[in-house]
Structure 1
Amino acid sequence: MPIIPIQSATVKTTCPYCGVGCGVDATPASATEVTIAGDETHPSNFGRLCVKGSALGETVGLEGRLLAPKLRDRNTGLLTDVSWDDAVGTVASGFARIIAQHGPDAVAFYVSGQLLTEDYYVANKLMKGYIGSANIDTNSRLCMSSSVAGHKRAFGEDLVPMNYEDLELADLVVLVGSNTAWCHPILFQRIVKMKEKRPEMKIVVIDPRYTATCEMADLHLPLKPGTDVRLFNGLLAFLAEHGATDAAFVDAHTHGFDAALAAAGPADLAQTAKDCKIDQHDLMAFYRLFARTERVVTVYSQGVNQSSAGTDKVNAIINCHLLTGRIGKPGMGPFSFTGQPNAMGGREVGGLANTLAAHLEFGDPLHGEIVQTFWNSPAIAQRAGLKAVELFDAIESGRVKAVWIMGTNPVVSLPDSDRLKRALDMCELVVSSDIIEKTDTNAFADVLLPALGWGEKDGTVTNSERRISRQRAFIPAPGKARADWRIICDVARRMGFDGFSFAGPQEIFDEHARLSAYRNDAATGVHRAFNVSGLIGMDRARYDALQPVQWPLFAPDGQGVVRLFEDRRFSHADGRARFIATAPRAPKNAPDEDYPLVLNTGRVRDQWHTMTRTGRSAKLAGHIGESFIDMHPQDALACGVREGELARVASRWGSMVARVQHGGGMPRGSVFVPIHWNDQVASDARVGAVVNPVVDPVSGEPEFKHTPVSIEKFHVTWHGFSLSRSAPDLDMVTHWTRVHGARFVRYEMAGRNRFDASNGDHRDWARTLFRIDDQHADWIEYEDKSAGVYRAAHVIDDRIESCVFISERPDLPARAWLASLFEKDRLDEEDRISLLLGQPMGKGEDTGPTVCSCFGVGRNTICNAIRDKGLKNAAEITSCLKAGGNCGSCVPELKKLIVETEMARLSTV
């Protein structure tokens, strides 16, 4: 494949983060500099980008990149650069040898929603059609497989019937297990903007936590974790009892209602409220609102999917829409918001272990015959393969002896993740395709293969509304990195397989499109709604110019189907949808005396997955710099921990350490920890080690929302932080977190060593931290021996090189103003005095923690403006400071600051 030159013009591409699939205008100035803007023509975002998308330009550099194939010597652990020929040969011969000795099920691929559809397609083709095993699964198993299973049970196929416009057409939007304001901010802003135009539109949030999304809601139902099925079964019974049904639709287009209603039980509002721990009046308000509103969209995301009962939760929601006939019409229906940029594309091509390709399934020999005939392949997998969690169980037990991991970091993201370390350490052959060299997972790889990243690779992705968009390359491939599809095809050919001689992604997509149409009818094959026959036969120019389009798509240059099921026909053989009986069941591994609290995990606003990309952005690091344990103050008191202090979260599977906070949104008995921090950026903050490995029996999706845990104080003798232009020596630090800065690296630290101030321990320790041997170095320091406070800075030619702040208490000076000193070429006398004081001398210079990352506006700046200028709402803050004026994901926080500032003012009156 030819090297792609740097484009001087703007290139339209697609964001690599969440499933919204926003269009991006990228204008590169060099291989590491690019200007980012929203694509105003893209129908998913119409020019808006969230803060993560806006910061993409900060993430295209080559720091930490894997730039050449590497082989590891298992005796020494050392990696050596090798040629692509040697690397491909090692992978191909290793897999071939293990297959010959132990059979095809002894090898596996574990892939990613970060892959493009073309990459996914050839990986699935190689494993299922040529190796002959279905042992290919994806990290999308961790976020949306319960939705897939629920769709298949209800509709007969994995189909999302909705489109984003339906969010604006709805009169009631119900957000279930979705902190949409932070996790899908562009879609949330579309909802909010419509509510501003139509105040009668209602928003209901169903979530155990009070999140940023709740700030915009008309009603928040803080249900007990794990009781979603009970809640929606209660709604189903309520609708049936009060006649809020579409009997004609149910009779003509569905099966199974009586069984579903029987499983739901009687319409006992009081008992449902008690079971879900929801105020009975609030529950009645929601049920009535749902019953009386025709245009209802129910959005669900990871809070529903990531559960041992996730599939039943999905079907309990769908049941309510089927009973009311609110599906296949504008502004109504169940809507799964996908987590990753191409989870949907992976579903289309068979990236899950329990599907074949092109929405064909295991269990019917005809499906396998269709795929094998089309591929003209030597074999076809006959049964479903191992899903993610059981796949790594099989690696640990030795049943799977070789695994190829592509574009994902399972040692961080999978539950009970310490077990993955043991499994990979025992595995005979571990191959990893990645863009970053040092990840928690790559530490166990025998072969590292450098892949292309966003901005370098070329292909398609499909978003949550079935819209196919192009990711286009606009910077050259760095080093020896190659496209994932090419790496896979090289290995396939080296293994002796035909069918992988593609010249580029356009040819792969064409084959994918042809398979979607091949024998796609009831007469000669299997009819399925997934069909992109309108995209068959695209030449390179047409492929390069492909505009965002939804599937199904039947005509060249035509419009895709905007909304499914408008004809009331579903994909089951009889054309009818299915009600699914969903009996409530408690989550496995309930809290007990040893582990009395329930751990919930999820995302924060400005980070993505395991931070290999977003962690490179100083803009994104400013909002939340380190992991945290959000818990109710009374639970903290019972556990003997305080806000701002470090604590250890432990379960039956593992433990981690983070800082306690009281965000105000946690109910008693529950704690929340974010998923992003890992061993590359923190000493012990990998929450995957703690998470319960139980899975949904239907979907195989893990239970990330309900792990019994205990919390105890993590004892340290001091707290501190450092900012430096080079990484410090952390050998004497017990706990640390690295935070990326614009011209420095910041470390939040704590330790257990005792300082003897009379012997100069602080100074010796700090100089060792920064590797300073010169006794005549320009060293600024302040020490309060009685309070255990120490501050020091190293200056070279009047330019700050590093600084450290230590205290016996966790309440340390603000970091934002210190960061600004690293922007200066020379420190003045006032700056030096400020370093000794631990605070800026100039009034208002400490902007406080970042609230609006898009424009870099801090909390203190916002609160001062609210107080001094009498700002009354978020719009006035935006007008004054710009905060909230881009992606809008900080608007809920702005509203909260208005209330807090007013309360502070009243308390002083």
Structure 2
Amino acid sequence: MARAASPDTRTTCPYCGVGCGVRAEMQEGRIIAVEGDAEHPANFGRLCVKGSALHETLGEHGRLTRPRLDGVDVDWDTALEAVATRLATTRDAHGPEAVAGYLSGQLLTEDYYVANKLFKGFLGTPHLDTNSRLCMASAVAAYKRSLGADAVPCNYEDLEDAELVVLVGSNLAWNHPVLFQRLRAAKTRNPLLRVVVIDPRITDTCELADLYLGVRPGSDARLFTGLLAWMAERGKLDRVYLERHTRGLDATLDEARRDDVSLEAIAADCDVDPERLETFFYWFASQLHVVTLYSQGINQSSSGTDKCQAIINCHLAGGKIGLPGAGPFSITGQPNAMGGREVGGLANQLAAHMDYDSPGAVERVTRFWSTASLVPRLPEAPGHKAVELFAAIERGEVRAVWIMATNPVVSLPDARRVRAALAQCPLVIVSECMADTDLLEVADIVLPASGWSEKDGTVTNSERCISRQRGLMAPPGEARHDWWIISTVAQRLGFGEAFGYTHPAEIFAEHARLSGFENAGEGRRCFDISALADLERDAYDALAPIQWPVTARAPQGTPRLFEDGHFATPDGHARLLPVAPRGPLQALDERRHCRLNTGRVRDQWHTMSRTARASRLMNHRAEPFIEVHPEDARALGLEDQALAQLEGEGGEYRGRVRLSPAQRRGEVFVPIHWSDRFSASAVAGDLLAAHVDPLSGQPESKHGAVSLAALPSAWQATLVVADDLQKVVDVCRETAYWARVPMRHAERWQLAGEPTSAGRDWWAWLDEILPVATSLWCDDPADGRLRAAGIEVGRLRWWLMVGPPTELPGLAWLDARFTEAAEGSALQADQRRRILAACEDGAADDGPLVCSCHQVGRGAIASAIHAGDASVEALGARLACGTQCGSCIPELKSLIEEERAHAFHPTPDVEPV
């Protein structure tokens, strides 16, 4: 499976759905640096901090390199035979619906295609779904029932051509930072471009906002049904467009008017100021070129499809679609969520955007996949969507599941129940890159898969742009590509004639042919890349980014859809559909009185299995946290950086309090990234009930109901240890609170102990868990403070501080000491002092990290502002912060404003008594 490094070092970033192009710098078959591809239409050379650190996440350390069968390393032949035999045995004994697959937006389109073909086509099970269900399913359902296809009508240039951009349920600055920078640049070029941000939290995205609406969580549908009614009453509907190109206006307006449509009533239901609401309504109604960009804050709801529909209704009613700078634009969370849907990765799809209820679709795909001696047996109806799939595993109906490139025991709601269901499932097969993920604990068969920089195929981003993700390096050890693993299993199951692929180019060509198969006339399917079906391997390797449809009529692709007003519905007309707004199903009560909001943080991705390998990405938010309004914290006696605990439907969450006036009262925010591999109890999914949207099956992951309380602790400590001192792991995990923070040369553990451990004998504890004796120490028993370190053969091996982490300096200096030789017993007093202090003599503490690209802390930025660098540009010139990916620019602006406020309100002099 090894391949030589490609001469073309252009590839695609594996993180969010922006789909940025990347150029890699190679040296002796390794990637030593990356930069944005200036020629890629998604980013034109920009990269966010995660993308710019991609080369830091590579390497064989921590990778799965051999197959594992029932806990024992085996060769590939043994593992593949076990997969095929056990799948066949399960199917034969219990029927095809006892077998399931669960895929990921991290897979390439070619991987996805082969998996869908095997499970639905030849194993005959409908139960194949993907983690895209968790982020995009509601947007998909709304597009399909309104526009006739899962087809995003817009492209990124529309953000730059718009007169008004509305950001709803999207912290674009953190979650899609390259698009945020494109929008910032567009606003600079066109001062008339307005930006509205609609979000319960004041996020960094609000830095670009001309208007901010801090709506009550879950009230988005009420906002947009109110907007539609307001437009109708003031004659702002495009009657000509509605008459020519749509259906359903009257019923939709009737439903919108069932509620009080006065500004005051809508504002009260959404908990926003009526004047600000009217401003938004007026701006939206008065401009033609309006883009509404929406993401998880809309989709992750038990009524997410209706929320997306309410947005689409407003665009159709105003004719704000199919034009430059106009349209309802769902921004994808994963790099290939759209590619997975193209090939049928969702349980309610077949392939090539065909559905079970499309006339003739099952029979059409059956004929296409048939060979001289094999006829697939496709199911006749859709299978279980993600949440229901794992419920079926719990019930014992699904007895074998193959999970690829995702971690449902962390990402799904009611996560502990998912883990328990998999633990009792007779057969769990996991294809995975990393050797230490939560899911592997419940796996019977583990298959080592290739990862980014090794995988070779295509991905499709949020604007329908297909890009090549090129394999630049050979996979480590015995890791293999997912398409190869699936195809080889299919061959051992007896389906070799349909799975004889030798290169991903062959899979892509078949996928492209299927997209154009019997795809003509009035019932033409929107997804069609048939013009790419004849690509030879060289042309496939050189494929430039291109937006579908790609057909004989549009060989260069299609940047924007529905420009002629003809939609993908049977009669060519788009549908406005009635929406009855409703709140979250996870209701608040006396016990759980806080509304929970979940989301991503700037420098992390999913469950951190990749991003935690780049130590600088751990510095912006090093621990799990709970963001709380200061007044709520005061009422509970919580201080900033104190430890607190949330209790929700399925479990608890422990994190460090971050006070934020940007948070609404009575609401808390937690990140989704931490798993049991990185903290004691910080799986956001444990707090969430498994409510789903009835149409899309997408879970209500944005809206939980929790209680908030202080986490009692007798002590707090920071332990930094060399990477090879693994004995510490199990002992640290026995504490009431722990968070593991990978560093460049060592590993940091933040610890806190139960009240019952108040009398801990630290010397005995250190002797128990560390093989290296204490070399240096400084303690103050009166206030419970202790600092100590162990040095072995001239090298620092561990360092301990007992005390709150607020007393920590920046630990970069200490981290570097783990690679340097010291003088051991000959240490001078100043050397001992520096190691125990964890910093150079007289060194200023830079404080919390702000700029991850250049590792610039808050303290250094504040000092520069005081010295006169009171603009983002000046700070960039002095410190380089904000000059690379730009993700920290909103925070830089906030710091500038804070320091200006301090300058105008100096601390008054105090007269001596």
Contact 1:788 1:808 (8 Å CA) reproduced:
no
Cα distance, 1:686 vs structure 2: 1.2
For 1:882, the aligned partner's letter is A
Contact 1:176–1:300 (CA under 8 A) maintained in structure 2 = yes
Q: Equivalents in 2 of 1:5, 1:880: separation in Å?
A: 42
Give the drift of 1:820: 4.6
Look up the SS of the partner of 2:544 in the other structure: coil
2:587 counterpart letter in structure 1: A
- Partners of 1:641 and 1:563 in 2: CA distance: 51
* 2:198 corresponds to which of 206, 212, 217: 206
Offset of residue 62 of structure 1: 1.2
2:791 to 779, 795, 799: 795
Aligned match of 2:911: none
Contact 1:644 1:811 (C-alpha < 8 Å) held by counterparts: no
Q: 1:323 aligns with which of 314, 317, 328?
A: 317
Structure 2 distance, partners of 1:893, 1:248, is: 45
Deviation at 1:900, TM superposition (A): 1.8
Q: Please list every run of 5 or more consecutive structure 1 residues that lacks an aligned counterpart in the other structure.
A: 73-78
CA distance in 2, matches of 1:893, 1:661: 15
> CA-atom RMSD, angstroms?
1.8
Matched, 1:687 2:684: yes
Deviation at 1:613, TM superposition (A): 0.3
Query: How much does 1:641 deviate?
Result: 3.0
Q: For residues 48 and 718 of structure 1, what CA distance do their matches in structure 2 show?
A: 44
2:109 to 112, 117, 126: 117
Matched, 1:702 2:696: no
Deviates more, 1:829-838 or 1:738-747: 829-838
2:219 corresponds in structure 1 to: 227
**Which range moved further: 471-480 or 834-843?**
834-843
Q: Does 1:81 align with 2:73?
A: yes
- CA, structure 1 residues 874+769, in 2 after alignment: closer, same or farther (shift >3 Å)? farther
Q: Report the equivalent of 1:889.
A: 887
Distance of aligned partners of 1:820 and 1:616 in 2 relative to their CA distance in 1, 3 Å threshold? same
Distance 1:281 1:557, change over 3 A: closer
Query: Are 2:718 and 2:748, in contact at CA under 8 Å, matched by a contact in 1?
Result: yes
Instruction: State how far apart, in whole Å, the 2-side matches of 1:85 and 1:730 are.
Output: 34
Q: Which residue of the partner structure matches residue 99 of structure 1?
A: 91
Deviation at 1:30, TM superposition (A): 4.3
Deviations 1:514-569 (A, max 9, x none): 0000000237xx41111001101111100001000000011499310110000110
How far apart are residue 63 of structure 1 and its match? 1.6
Corresponding residue for residue 722 of structure 1:
719
Give the SS at the match of 1:593: coil
Q: Give the Cα–Cα distance (whole angstroms) in 2 for the partners of residues 372 and 148 of structure 1.
A: 24
Q: Bigger CA drift: 22-31 or 647-656?
A: 22-31
Map Cα deviations across residues 209-256 of structure 1 (whole Å, 9 max, x no partner). 111101221111010000000000111111111111211000011000
Distance 1:756 1:299 in 2: 51
Partners in 2 of 1:733 and 1:380 — Cα distance? 51
1:791–1:838 CA contact under 8 A, matched in 2 = no
- Check the 8 A contact 1:387/1:700 in 2, yes or no: yes
Identity %: 49
Alignment of 1:30-69 (within 5 A): 30=28, 33-69=31-67
Could you give the per-residue CA deviations for residues 303-357 of structure 1, whole angstroms, max 9, x where no partner exists?
0000101000000000000001010000011101000000000010000000111
User: Are residues 1:806 and 2:798 paired?
Assistant: no
1:141-156 equivalence runs, <5 A? 141-156=133-148
1:762 matched to 2:756 = no
Hey, what does 1:76 align to over in structure 2?
Answer: none
> 255-264 or 26-35: which moved more?
26-35
User: Structure 2: any 5+ residue segments left out of the alignment?
Assistant: 909-913
Measured at CA, do residues 482 and 838 of structure 1 come closer, stay the same or move farther in structure 2, by a change above 3 Å? closer
Pick aligned residue for 1:433 from 413, 431, 434? 431
Q: Contact conserved, 2:566 with 2:573, CA < 8 A, in 1?
A: yes
Residues 755 and 762 in structure 1, CA contact (< 8 A), matched pair in contact too: no
Relative to structure 1, the CA distance from residue 431 to residue 755 in structure 2 (aligned partners, 3 Å threshold; closer, same or farther) is closer
In the TM superposition, what is the alpha-carbon distance from 1:364 to its structure 2 partner?
A: 3.6
Between 1:628-637 and 1:25-34, the stretch displaced more is 25-34
Equivalent runs, 1:717-756 vs 2, <5 Å: 717-726=714-723, 727=725, 728-731=728-731, 733-752=735-754
Decide whether the 8 Å contact of 1:787 with 1:808 is kept in 2: no
- Judged with a 3 Å threshold, the aligned counterparts in structure 2 of structure 1 residues 753 and 276 are, in CA distance, closer, same or farther, namely closer
Give the structure-1-normalised TM-score.
0.95
Q: 1:504 to 1:516 in 2, by over 3 A?
A: same
Q: 1:700 to 1:273 in 2, by over 3 A?
A: same
Q: Hey, what's the Cα distance between the residues in 1 that align with 2:391 and 2:141?
A: 22
Matches of 1:395 and 1:756 in 2, distance apart? 44
Give the superposition deviation at 1:640: 4.1
Report the CA distance between 1:817 and its aligned residue. 4.3
Q: CA contact under 8 A between 1:361 and 1:367: conserved in structure 2?
A: yes
Match in the other structure for 2:856: 857
Whether 2:356 is the aligned partner of 1:358: answer: no
**Is the partner of 1:907 in helix, strand or coil?**
coil
**C-alpha spacing 1:324/1:878, structure 2 compared with 1 (3 Å):** same
1:654 to partner: Cα distance: 1.2
For residue 520 of structure 1, what is the amino acid of its counterpart? N
- 3-state secondary structure, aligned to 2:339: helix
Answer yes or no: is 1:273 the counterpart of 2:273: no
Which amino acid letter does the alignment assign opposite residue 763 of structure 2? Answer: R
Q: 1:130 aligns with which of 111, 122, 134?
A: 122
Cα distance in 1 for partners of 2:67, 2:472 equals 23
Q: Is the 8 A contact 2:787 2:801 kept in 1?
A: yes
Given the alignment, which residue of 284, 288, 291 partners 2:282? 288
Aligned to 2:401: 403
Structure 1 residues 105, 702: closer, same or farther in 2, change over 3 A? same
* Whole-angstrom CA distance in 1 between matches of 2:758 and 2:506: 69
Contact 1:374 1:515 in 2 (8 A): yes
1:355-434 → structure 2 map (5 Å cutoff): 355-376=349-370, 377-434=375-432
The residue number in structure 1 matching 2:23 is 25
The Cα shift of 1:729 comes to: 4.7
Deviations 1:633-679 (A, max 9, x none): 22223344332121111112211211111133210111111010101
The Cα offsets for residues 665-720 of structure 1, whole Å up to 9 and x where unpaired, read as: 21011111101010111122111111121001110001111111011221111111
Is the aligned partner of 1:345 residue 2:336?
Answer: no
Find the aligned partners of 2:812 and 2:275 in 1 and give their Cα distance. 45
State how far apart, in whole Å, the 1-side matches of 2:8 and 2:790 are. Answer: 43
Describe the SS at the equivalent of 1:430: strand
Shift of 1:268: 1.0
Superposed CA deviations along residues 779-834 of structure 1, whole A, max 9, x for unmatched, are: 22111122111111223455432211112686544434433544654487544323
Residue 635 of structure 1 aligns to a residue in which SS? helix
* TM-score of the aligned structures, taking structure 2 as reference length: 0.95
Mapped contact 1:632–1:664 kept (Cα < 8 A): yes
Among residues 634, 637, 644, which one is paired with 2:634 in the alignment? 637
Q: Provide, for residues 725-782 of structure 1, a one-character-per-residue CA deviation record: whole Å limited to 9, x for no partner.
A: 134355263321111111111111111277788xx9233323434333x4xx6x2211
* Map of 1:303 onto structure 2: 297
Aligned to 1:898: 896
Which runs of structure 2 are paired with 1:413-812 in the superposition (5 Å)?
A: 413-497=411-495, 498-522=497-521, 526-555=523-552, 558-726=555-723, 727=725, 728-731=728-731, 733-752=735-754, 761-772=761-772, 774=773, 779-796=775-792, 798-807=794-803, 811-812=807-808
- Contact 1:460 1:471 survives alignment (8 Å): yes
Q: Deviations over 1:569-611 (max 9, x none)?
A: 0011100000011011121131000110111111000000000
Aligned mates of 1:457, 1:654 — CA distance in 2 = 37
What displacement does 1:181 show?
0.2
Give the counterpart letter for 1:289 in structure 2. W
In structure 2, the CA distance between the partners of 1:721 and 1:575, relative to structure 1 (3 Å rule), is: same
